[in-house]
Amino acid sequence: MSLRKALLVVCDGMGDRVEREYGGETPLGIAKTPTLDRLAASGYVGLMDPVSPGIRPGSDYATTALLGYDPSIYYTGRGGLEAAGAGIDLKPGEVAFRCNFSTVDDSLTVIDRRAGRIEKGTTDLAETIREIKPRGVKGLRIDFRATVAHRGVLILKGKGLSRMVSDVDPHDNGVKILRCEPLDDSSAAKRTAAVVNSIVTQSFRIMRDHPVNLARVKEGKRPANIILPRGAGTLPGFKTLHELYDMKVACIAAVALVKGVCRIAGAELVNVEGATGGLDTNYEGKAWAAVKALENHDLTLLHVKATDVASHDGDFQKKASVIEKIDSALGKIMPSLNSESTYVIVTADHSTPVSVRDHSGNPVPLLISGPGVPSSGVSKFSENAVSRGNLGRLHGLDLMRIIADYLGKAKKLGF
Amino acid sequence: MSLRKALLVVCDGMGDRVEREYGGETPLGIAKTPTLDRLAASGYVGLMDPVSPGIRPGSDYATTALLGYDPSIYYTGRGGLEAAGAGIDLKPGEVAFRCNFSTVDDSLTVIDRRAGRIEKGTTDLAETIREIKPRGVKGLRIDFRATVAHRGVLILKGKGLSRMVSDVDPHDNGVKILRCEPLDDSSAAKRTAAVVNSIVTQSFRIMRDHPVNLARVKEGKRPANIILPRGAGTLPGFKTLHELYDMKVACIAAVALVKGVCRIAGAELVNVEGATGGLDTNYEGKAWAAVKALENHDLTLLHVKATDVASHDGDFQKKASVIEKIDSALGKIMPSLNSESTYVIVTADHSTPVSVRDHSGNPVPLLISGPGVPSSGVSKFSENAVSRGNLGRLHGLDLMRIIADYLGKAKKLGF
């Protein structure tokens, strides 16, 4: 038997609800997808609830499930995943926050949550932020890293910290920044909230007159004069897929949160030029990178964000056209995958109906094709068509176990 | 987007097993149900296990699940639900019992569990019962309320009580009443059992010569000379649907237990004239009340008991005809529901096969129709037809989450 491999394609938010004006179909249903249709017909197809029927997951929560970790146990907030996605390994007990470099006025009202979508100078600003000493707390150190554009990660290191604290980022412009509040009665949460508030206040004081910002103001740009932490998180305590299944995994994704979950699961992150996480991403480049990654990995997770972007835009046709680009890219690489030994699995991490413009609890379509998999005979890959497929209705947690089994990596329970 | 609403129709015990003499069909399968069939064809259809495959739930246990509360955690006995259904709010720690006013002879052998189906005078009897002082127990108070016909609720208030005690009601005529026994080794259960036995003994002493009974005997009626407690229960500790989903819920039901679960879940109970819980119930009146309730509620649960009554009677044709009456009533109101914004969900709380004359563990048919829901194309609403539907096989616990998601009330987990 040849060595088996699996390519898992996750189209972010691809699942949708039907629209009457499109003949009771979804974007996937109207998209021309010859490659996906061929894979669907020759493989298993069905519906999958990423978490459980009706549950609305974020991509981080859902990806945790798709990788085989029960998110009701292992999801420990955005911050830890975001940090991992930026290549920062949290240690147990440390608390990380996703941060924006933002612009506020003197009353701490948010002028621009993204500081004019600042691109340069954030590394210098980060260096200054790292020097902040939170007031009235001993034995606590902070780290801060600029990541992509206006984004950064704040890490608190020390004893007695908690992720149960609220966001400082008000998630909107034109309103005052929020106070970080404890979300439970623990002294750790109270202490953490006090530390965060002290850091935010000091960040404003040291950032507003920073040379990077003086230069930006001179150029008519908005200064990055504060950091706004949100999404406190700790390291999820899960074993890697290598530890669990002896599986070498690669992850090709542009979204930091998805990269973060995969990295903590032990995946090697593969960067692809032109992979933007946007509608203009390098679809084919990512697909070819997946082919290459499969050469020395058992499983490659290829995540495409563009489907979700079109969904949040509420654009049915655009979403269909993104799906066609994914299909086309997969069509290009398919001849380079050994069909005798390679499984191709295509699904979504959650539904983002264009009619809702946000994540929903609807199930997602799933296809699994490869050696030994029965032919569904279902000639179109769509939510409607696969609902009468040969796979029934699965949970997201089932997927990694099924993949591990086909790869010959599943451990037998009992004798 | 218009404000979304949902009508959840629960036909008690509607699910059934197929009968060879009816062409391998069920009562729902042979019933003429044009409205349900239309909803089924245009919506999701599938099978649902109210609790889990093969599990035989009572209506209270199953309704707990359908409302989204795991009954293995939250079901705390019949008494608390019965009390809630009668408008009595238990407090944490109180133990309630469903009671019958019954007729016993001097040897405490049951002559008639329902005391000649007594209708009048129970309020006076209840007043006398409330004055009972259980022997040898300090700091304990009792409450007793007459509810409908021969039914009542006994509530024990005080510290150190337990619901883990057995029934006094032997559930049959011609046998002696039972002693209430502790069902575990706790001192609370032993104490509670002793209290119950003392109350039952005293009830016989004070009720047999009560003026209400002296008058009944004179009229040749059976005296309500004892109370027989059963189904000890406490308040289930669940959050309301309003707290969980910001959902305003109405409940239209005649059965006290179903009303009780719904009331504890935060539903407003809507009374409908002629809603008897029997075969002669006011089907159309209940349906129109549901339309009205939807005006100021997000979700209306419309429960019809008659399907279960016909099932317990073991009458296949009668059950089919009850289903036709439900279909007809739904057909009348359908034009008054806005199809652009209203979901209609039809299912059963459990199966009660006419061949069994009792609840079974068979799955129940489920249909979900409304905006954004794909068409199943299944042209008949029946257990057989929906088993090849587009919804797969769900658990009862999934249902409320799916409804909340379609109503835009589901909270996102993760980012």
Instruction: Based on the fold, state whether residues A127 and A271 are members of the same structural domain.
Output: no
Q: Tell me the mean pLDDT in the region A19-44.
A: 97
Instruction: Based on the fold, state whether residues B273 and B381 are members of the same structural domain.
Output: yes
> What CA–CA distance (Å, rounded) separates B398 from B395?
5
Q: Flag if A361 and B1 touch (Cβ within 8 Å).
A: no
pLDDT value at residue B2:
55
Q: Flag if A59 and B400 touch (Cβ within 8 Å).
A: no
Surface-to-core class of residue B209, CB atoms within 10 Å of its CB (0-12 exposed, 13-18 middle, 19+ buried): exposed
Structural tokens at position A224 = 């990055």
Give B15's DSSP letter: B
Instruction: Based on the fold, state whether residues B254 and B315 are members of the same structural domain.
Output: yes
Mutate to test the interface with B, among A56, A70, A230, A305 (most CBs of B within 10 A): A56
Tens-digit pLDDT profile for residues B306-321: 999 999 999 999 999 9
Instruction: Based on the fold, state whether residues B328 and B388 are members of the same structural domain.
Output: yes
In chain A, the percentage of residues whose pLDDT exceeds 70 is 100
Q: Tell me the mean pLDDT in the region A196-210.
A: 96
Q: Flag if B414 and A384 touch (Cβ within 8 Å).
A: no
Least confident of B43-57, B123-137, B236-250, B289-303: B123-137
Structural tokens at position A16 = 């949708």
- CA-atom Rg of chain B in angstroms: 22
Fill in the amino acid letter for B146: A
Instruction: Based on the fold, state whether residues A64 and A197 are members of the same structural domain.
Output: no
Instruction: Based on the fold, state whether residues A329 and A357 are members of the same structural domain.
Output: yes
Instruction: Based on the fold, state whether residues A254 and A217 are members of the same structural domain.
Output: no
Contacts of A384 in chain B (CB under 8 A): 374-375, 390
> What CA–CA distance (Å, rounded) separates B330 from A73?
43
The Cβ of residue A294 has, within 10 Å, a number of other Cβ atoms equal to 22
Structural tokens at position A66 = 């798709």
Average pLDDT over chain B, rounded to whole? 95
A184, A216, A233 — which closes off a domain? A233
For A394, nearest residue in chain B (alpha carbons): B392
What are B347's strand-pairing partners?
A: B10
Exposure string of B53-68, with b = 16+ CB inside 10 Å and e = fewer, is eebbbbbbbbbbbbbb
A233, A255, A288 — which closes off a domain? A233
Q: Flag if B373 and A64 touch (Cβ within 8 Å).
A: no
B111: in domain: yes
> What CA–CA distance (Å, rounded) separates B171 from B228?
9
Tens-digit pLDDT profile for residues B62-80: 999 999 999 999 999 999 9
Cα–Cα distances in angstroms (integers) from residue B315 to residues A154, B254, B263, in the given order: 69, 21, 32
B414: in domain: no
Contacts of B402 in chain A (CB under 8 A): 53-54, 361
Instruction: Based on the fold, state whether residues A311 and A374 are members of the same structural domain.
Output: yes
Instruction: Based on the fold, state whether residues A220 and A126 are members of the same structural domain.
Output: yes
B413: in domain: no
Q: Flag if A55 and B372 touch (Cβ within 8 Å).
A: no
Task: Describe the crossing of helices B122-130 and B211-218 by its angle, rounded to 10 degrees.
Answer: 140
Look at residues A253, A348, A343 and name the one whose alpha carbon lies nearest to residue A301: A253
A413: in domain: no
Look at residues A271, A269, A302 and name the one whose alpha carbon lies nearest to residue A287: A302
Contacts of B413 in chain A (CB under 8 A): 51, 55-58, 61, 71, 75
Q: Flag if A387 and B388 touch (Cβ within 8 Å).
A: no
Tens-digit pLDDT profile for residues B92-124: 999 999 999 999 999 999 999 999 999 899 999
Any idea of the CA torsion for A70, A72, A76, A81, to the nearest 10 degrees? Answer: 40
| A360: nearest CB among B374, B405, B413 | B405
Q: Flag if B412 and A57 touch (Cβ within 8 Å).
A: yes
What are B299's strand-pairing partners?
A: B6, B249
The Cβ of residue B370 has, within 10 Å, a number of other Cβ atoms equal to 24
Q: Flag if A387 and B390 touch (Cβ within 8 Å).
A: yes
Confidence of residue A134 (pLDDT cuts 50, 70, 90): confident
> What CA–CA distance (Å, rounded) separates B84 from B235?
9
Tens-digit pLDDT profile for residues A269-294: 999 999 999 999 999 999 999 999 99
Contacts of B372 in chain A (CB under 8 A): 17-19, 353, 355
Cα A126–chain centre separation:
24
Counting the structural domains of chain B, the total is 2
A63: in domain: yes
Fill in the amino acid letter for B295: E
Tens-digit pLDDT profile for residues A53-95: 999 999 999 999 999 999 999 999 999 998 998 888 899 999 9
Least confident of A84-93, A305-314, B68-77, B266-275: A84-93
Structural tokens at position A273 = 């030029």
Give A203's DSSP letter: H
Predicted complex ipTM exceeds 0.85: yes
Tens-digit pLDDT profile for residues B318-370: 999 999 999 999 999 999 999 999 999 999 999 999 999 999 999 999 999 99
Are the C-beta atoms of B262 and B310 separated by less than 8 Å?
Answer: no
Instruction: Based on the fold, state whether residues A363 and A325 are members of the same structural domain.
Output: yes
Structural tokens at position A125 = 């600003």
A267-274: list long-range contacts, CB under 8 Å, 24+ apart. A267/A241, A267/A301, A268/A293, A268/A297, A269/A87
Q: Strand pairing of A141-146 and A249-252?
A: unpaired
Contacts of A383 in chain B (CB under 8 A): 374
pLDDT over 70 at B271, yes or no? yes
B415: in domain: no
Tens-digit pLDDT profile for residues B16-47: 999 999 999 999 999 999 999 999 999 999 99
> What CA–CA distance (Å, rounded) separates A180 from A300?
39
pLDDT value at residue A87:
87
Domain at B386, CATH number: 3.40.720.10
> What CA–CA distance (Å, rounded) separates B362 from A4?
41
What are A228's strand-pairing partners?
A: A100
Contacts of B398 in chain A (CB under 8 A): 52-54
Length of chain B, please?
415
The parent domain of residue B258 ranges over: 5-75+237-406
Q: How many CA atoms lie within 13 A of A88 on its CB side?
A: 28
> What CA–CA distance (Å, rounded) separates B232 from B191?
14
> Which helix (H) or strand (E) segment is B230 a member of?
strand B226-233
DSSP A249-312: EEEE-S-HHHHHHHHHTTPEE---TT--SSTT--HHHHHHHHHHHHHS-SEEEEEE-HHHHHHH
> What CA–CA distance (Å, rounded) separates A251 from A96?
22
Tens-digit pLDDT profile for residues B46-64: 999 999 999 999 999 999 9
Structural tokens at position A156 = 């608190």
> What CA–CA distance (Å, rounded) separates B357 from A63?
46
pLDDT over 70 at A1, yes or no? no
pLDDT over 70 at B1, yes or no? no
Instruction: Based on the fold, state whether residues B162 and B63 are members of the same structural domain.
Output: no
Cα–Cα distances in angstroms (integers) from residue B371 to residues A21, B8, B389, in the given order: 12, 15, 18
pLDDT over 50 at B134, yes or no? yes
Contacts of A350 in chain B (CB under 8 A): none
Task: Describe the crossing of helices B256-264 and B78-85 by its angle, rounded to 10 degrees.
Answer: 90
| B402: nearest CB among A18, A19, A53 | A53
> Which helix (H) or strand (E) segment is B142 a member of?
strand B141-146
For B402, nearest residue in chain A (alpha carbons): A54
> What CA–CA distance (Å, rounded) separates B398 from B401?
5
Answering whether pTM is above 0.90, one says yes
Tens-digit pLDDT profile for residues A146-157: 988 899 999 999
pLDDT value at residue A2:
54
Helices (H), A75-208: 78-85, 122-130, 187-207
Instruction: Based on the fold, state whether residues A60 and A162 are members of the same structural domain.
Output: no
A415: in domain: no
Q: Tell me the mean pLDDT in the region A167-195.
A: 96
A233, A259, A275 — which closes off a domain? A233
B100: in domain: yes
> What CA–CA distance (Å, rounded) separates A132 from A190?
19
